[in-house]
Amino acid sequence: MLEHGGRLRQAARQWGIPLADWLDLSTGINPWAYPIPGIPISAWQRLPEEEDGLEAAARNYYGAKHVLALAGSQAAIQTLPKLLPPGRAAVLAPSYAEHAAAWVKAEWAVTPFAPPRLEEVAKEHNVVVVVNPNNPTGERITARRLRAAARALAKRGGLLVVDEAFADADPRDSLADLAGTKVAPNIIVLRSLGKFFGLAGARVGFAIGRPELLEALADTLGPWPVAGPARRVARCALEDRAWQADMRQELQVAAERLETLLQDSLGASTGTGLFRWLPHPRADWVYDELARRSILVRLFLEVDGSSSLRFGLPGSDDEWRRLEGALNELRKDL
C-alpha cells in the first residue's frame, strides 16, 4: 500500500510523542470543515437511497449532467483501469501516486509525463491522467489545454481522466460541466468532498462522465457505495453556497499567509488554497526537525534525488504560532 499523509498515529509511535500533542499539516485537508448537520436515527437504520437528493445536489454544484456517488474518488481511481482493455496510459508526474499504481496494477503500460508534454502524450496514448490542480505541486493546466488534449485522444478512441480533488477552492479550470457530454464524451472527472469541505472521513466523492462508463463503474462497485449518514452530510455541504463562498475567501487569505511564512524561512512555494509545496535540498532534514517538534508535514523523496515538502494549513492562531516558531528555529541552521 502506498504512503499517504495523515498517518498521525504512525508518527506518534515513531517519534515517541503523544498523539494529542501533534500538529498535523500533512494532508491538505481544510482544517475548517463543513459543520456537520444533525443526522436523524433513520439515516443509520435504513439502507441508503439514491432518491435522497444527493445526486441532484451534486449535478447542480458541479454543473454536470451525469454523476455517480462514490466512497471517495479513490474508489474510481482503483476501479476505472480495470474497466478498459489494457493499453498505454500517460500519467502526470509527480502527482497523486495512486493513479499510476492503479493503471500498472491493471496491466497498462504507464508513461509518466510533465505538464508541457500534455499535447504530445495525448496523441500517443489511449488514456491520459492528470490531477488539476496538481497534488503535490499545485500546478494548474488550463481548461483550454485539457479540452484540446481530449479532442486529440478522441480521434483514437482515447480517454482523458481529470482528478479535481483540490479544484473546489478555485474551480476556474474545472471540466466537471463538460465531462461526459456530447461535446466531450471521452472526459471523466473525479471530485471529492474530502479536501475543500474537510470531510475526508465521510468518504464521499463523485465520478462525472458519460452514462455508460458510470454505469460500468457502478456495476463493478456494487450497491450502497456511500453510507446514508455520509450522503446526508454531503448533500448539505453541496447545497450550502454561502458557506462555500465564504470558505473560498478564507482559504485564499490563509494560503497567502502560509506562502509568506514559508518564503521567509524555507523559500518560494507553489500550491493551492489548501496547501503549499516547495522543493528543498534539505527537505528530509526539515521534515525530521519539524517532527521532533511534533509538527507533521508531507515529505517527498524522488528517485532522481530531489526532495520536497508539502504543508497544509494551520487551523488556529496557536497552530500558526507553533509553525512559525518552529520554522524560525530551523532557519538558524539552514
Domain boundaries, the chain: 8-33+242-331, 41-239
Q: Where are the alpha helices (DSSP H) in 141-240?
A: 143-154, 211-221, 228-239
Residue type present at position 45: Q
- Classify 8-33+242-331 by CATH class: alpha beta
Check residue 7 and give its pLDDT.
82
Check residue 3 and give its pLDDT.
63
- Classify 41-239 by CATH class: alpha beta
Instruction: Respond yes or no on whether the N-terminal peptide bond of residue 279 is cis (omega within 30° of 0).
Output: no
Report the alpha-carbon distance of residue 16 to residue 13 in Å, rounded. 5
The helix or strand, by DSSP H or E, that contains position 278, with its residue range, turns out to be strand 275-279
CA distances to 23, 122, 229, 306, 313 from 20, in Å: 8, 47, 27, 32, 18
DSSP, residue by residue, 112-160: EE-GGGHHHHHTT-SEEEEESS-TTT-----HHHHHHHHHHHHTTT-EE
Report the alpha-carbon distance of residue 147 to residue 118 in Å, rounded. 11
Report the alpha-carbon distance of residue 70 to residue 106 in Å, rounded. 20
Name 236's bridge partners.
Answer: none
| CB atoms inside a 10 Å sphere around CB 123 | 13
Q: Residue ranges of the chain with pLDDT lower than 70?
A: 1-6
pLDDT in tens, 44-54: 999 998 889 99
The structure's pTM equals 0.94
pLDDT in tens, 140-158: 999 999 999 999 999 999 9
75 grid coordinates: 474508489
Report the alpha-carbon distance of residue 279 to residue 87 in Å, rounded. 33
Beta-carbon contacts of 237 under 8 Å, excluding residues fewer than 6 positions away, are 34, 193, 197, 199, 243
Check residue 1 and give its pLDDT.
56
Distance separating the N- and C-terminal Cα atoms of the chain: 34
Check residue 26 and give its pLDDT.
95
Check residue 97 and give its pLDDT.
93
Report the alpha-carbon distance of residue 330 to residue 3 in Å, rounded. 26
Check residue 186 and give its pLDDT.
98
Check residue 77 and give its pLDDT.
97
**Which residue, chain included where needed, has cell 454505469?**
215
